[in-house]
Structure 1
Amino acid sequence: MTFEGTMTALITPFDENGDFDEEGFRENIKSQIDGGIDGIVPVGTTGECATLSYEEHEKVVEVAVDAADGKVPVVAGTGSNSTKEALMLTNYAAEAGADGVLLVAPYYNKPTQRGLYEHYKKLAEEVNIPQVIYNIPSRTGRNIEAETLIKLSELENVVGVKEASGDLNQVMKIARGSGEDFDILSGDDSLTLPILSLGGVGAVSVASNLVPGKISDLVSSYLEGDVEKARDIHFELMPLFKALFIETNPGPIKAAMNILGKPAGKPRLPLVEAESETKQKLREVMSELGLIK
């Protein structure tokens, strides 16, 4: 299976007590599908996977699969800094009916490139489900180097990478060295257009929580050959891309969703609600885009 187009890195909405808001989550997924999104990614960075219990993590995946109802692929975040835990979560996602999994690089313990390779090799061999590697060194403390990713692309079940290193030279090396059946997905909204130009086939987007139609249109326009339209949408959304990362994700996107009246709630500690200045900037940008009055 390949994952092309736009997939939304879903927020995990919480209620006033800080518990998982299942009804709100289902509402958000319906809105995403109605907005033309190509897939959903629950329990990733934006979904605050690091502060969910195992039971909550599994519940969110179950609800996502049920709410998607086969209309769009579900690629569940199942990465961990422990290979054993990643195996457990990945097995569960496969059993729950997810179409694929997103595996963030092991964080905190800073494995070597050999360690990273062996980690992903173990997962690929143990669980028969399409696996997308997630490279985001700003959060994990370790970059998965292009040479390692190219080697990993040769493994059965490893189907792509969500690239959020911010290094376009690395993206070029991966595109040149991996096969045509290895999907390169942008993991940074501001770099989606450049990554598409280097051979990327889609994006895992934070901004599409807010504007699914716009992000879908950007990606599909480029893939269909209308580069000018894709570029116009990119320039239109640049202020939003910037505003959504004034503070640590998912603080700003949750604030923006709350402003729009969508289920979101506050982030879980140690993350905190976006500052008032950030909320004001978001309102200004959202007003300019016609999302609010």
Structure 2
Amino acid sequence: MTNLPKGSIVALITPFHEDGTINFEKLKELIEWHIVNKTDGILILGTTGESPTLTHEEDDDVVACAIECANHRIPIIVGAGSNSTQTQLEKSLKYEKMGADGLLLISPYYNKANDEGMIRHFTTVADQVHIPIILYNIPGRTGCTISLNALKQLSKHPMIQGIKEASGDISYATNAATLLNDDFVMYSGNDDIIVPMMALGSSGVISVLADVLPKTTHDIVFNCLNGNYKTAQQLQLDNLDLIHDLFMEVNPIPVKEALNMMGFHVGKYRLPLYEMSEDHKAKLEATLKARGLIA
């Protein structure tokens, strides 16, 4: 049976100082906040964590900080993916040794792969690590999909224990759900369809919304897990405007702006990410006010 957590796994932002360096004290503060507010797991070095703009040394420092701060109180999943299989393997082995509880591995963006290449991209790592792997299917970012044929074969590997399904394609997710069992689980990778994904048998969500509303995101998932779909549905719909606003520009620009508006002082972003338009800022601010998240 998989050791991966059920519930809301936050795709955590990486906070920066004004000079663009990583704010490790703020990172620890955010982790503590998530533990208090019922987040069930923390993903670091994901897309939301701006991993493409961090150096390898910064990656290592963020992982070390998060694992030390969490101190086994909450699972730490680390994004170790790369479009280079060898780089992905080296990162995965390093993060396992550092104490990561699991790994998130993305499909090989840009260079892509045929089915056999895709399978070997993941199994090369799975054959050498001893912590759970979550596959990451997000064709909107990578330009390629983990085919259902490849997924069927990958799901049988004992160390490949889940998939973050972020295509937004319910048909794909429905077919992927036929592969779910005690040893292979699915997480919604889209905050706007948490409840439909839970109805298909997902174990939770890997969430951007949880950066702003950790307890609410946890409650959506656990109401589903406990069969209270009516309550979960209402929570999903009540927060749909905020979910949409958090993606009105490229993630994680809006969620960082939201956290700054809420007083968390998480800093800006690294290029090529850039400032939100004033119109979008005003819309986001109005939504946060309507939700009671800022005065």
- Measured against the shorter chain, the TM-score band is over 0.9
| Secondary structure, counterpart of 2:186 in structure 1 | strand
- The answer to whether 1:262 aligns with 2:264 is yes
Alpha-carbon shift at residue 280 of structure 1 (Å): 1.0
- Corresponding residue for 1:204? 206
Whole-angstrom CA distance in 2 between matches of 1:178 and 1:113 = 20
- For residues 29-78 of structure 1, give each alpha carbon's deviation from its aligned partner in whole angstroms, at most 9, with x where no partner exists: 11111111000000100001111000000111111111111111000000
Q: Structure 1 length as normaliser, TM-score? A: 0.98
Whole-angstrom CA distance in 2 between matches of 1:226 and 1:108 = 41
Contact in 2 for aligned 1:76/1:100 (Cα 8 Å): yes
Whole-angstrom CA distance in 2 between matches of 1:275 and 1:108 = 28
- Corresponding residue for 1:135? 137
Structure 2 counterpart of 1:288, one-letter code: A
Structure 1 counterpart of 2:264, one-letter code: K
Whole-angstrom CA distance in 2 between matches of 1:180 and 1:170 = 20
Gaps of 5+ in 2: none
| Secondary structure, counterpart of 2:103 in structure 1 | strand
- For residues 242-289 of structure 1, give each alpha carbon's deviation from its aligned partner in whole angstroms, at most 9, with x where no partner exists: 001100000000110110111321111011122211211111111111
Whole-angstrom CA distance in 1 between matches of 2:155 and 2:251 = 28
| Secondary structure, counterpart of 2:117 in structure 1 | helix
Q: Of 11, 15, 20, which aligns to 2:13?
A: 11
Whole-angstrom CA distance in 2 between matches of 1:126 and 1:70 = 23
Q: Of 33, 40, 43, which aligns to 1:41?
A: 43
Q: Of 278, 283, 289, which aligns to 1:281?
A: 283
Q: Of 158, 161, 172, which aligns to 1:159?
A: 161
Structure 2 counterpart of 1:73, one-letter code: P
Structure 2 counterpart of 1:209, one-letter code: D
Contact in 1 for aligned 2:158/2:183 (Cα 8 Å): no
Alignment of 1:1-293 (within 5 A): 1-293=3-295
Alpha-carbon shift at residue 193 of structure 1 (Å): 1.0
Of 178-187 and 89-98, the range deviating more from structure 2: 178-187
Contact in 1 for aligned 2:82/2:108 (Cα 8 Å): yes
Structure 2 counterpart of 1:69, one-letter code: N
| Secondary structure, counterpart of 2:239 in structure 1 | helix
Structure 1 counterpart of 2:44, one-letter code: P
Whole-angstrom CA distance in 2 between matches of 1:277 and 1:91 = 44
Contact in 2 for aligned 1:2/1:181 (Cα 8 Å): no
Contact in 2 for aligned 1:134/1:163 (Cα 8 Å): yes
Structure 1 counterpart of 2:219, one-letter code: D
- For residues 150-205 of structure 1, give each alpha carbon's deviation from its aligned partner in whole angstroms, at most 9, with x where no partner exists: 21010121010000011111111111134332110001100111100111110000
Structure 2 counterpart of 1:76, one-letter code: V
Gaps of 5+ in 1: none
Structure 2 counterpart of 1:44, one-letter code: G
Structure 2 counterpart of 1:221, one-letter code: N
Structure 2 counterpart of 1:52, one-letter code: L
Whole-angstrom CA distance in 1 between matches of 2:251 and 2:48 = 6
